[in-house]
Structure 1
Amino acid sequence: MEALRAELRTTGVGLPAHERAHLEALLDRLEADEAAEDPGMSESLHLAAERFEVKHPSLAATLRNIGVNLANIGI
């Protein structure tokens, strides 16, 4: 999660406010341990990664890595 926060601090500067807010809300859900209770969390991460793939590939990669890590632990 810290990687995503760091990515938001650097790459996220150019994001529109609503997209940045969406990512911060997603990150807050992850940090609040809601990921284990939310079967759609991986899908949310995947969709967010797709949205940022072209303009912010490093941000998309970070989102995908988090999704893979969650899948690896069964979330």
Structure 2
Amino acid sequence: MNTKPIRIAEDLNNALLRIDQLWGAASNSTEGDELEVLAMLVEKYENEHFPIPASDPIEAAKFRIAFSGKSN
């Protein structure tokens, strides 16, 4: 396992390619551990570089009502 921090988009792409290769690896195996570490690194990078802002509670409620079929 040659895992390193994800600092740039190229690192992210490489990590995602490796995750694709490791997908389905058994838990508690060398490959499974690598998969878990890479997933955490990707999550950290994406949270820092592509944050999803919190939704407005009123708009979220309106959306949920609209798509629940109970708006009228």
**Normalised by the size of structure 1, how large is the TM-score?**
0.45
**Normalised by the size of structure 2, how large is the TM-score?**
0.47
- Using CA pairs below 8 Å that are at least 6 residues apart, which structure has the higher relative contact order? 1
Structure with higher Rg: it is 2
- Bigger helix share: 1
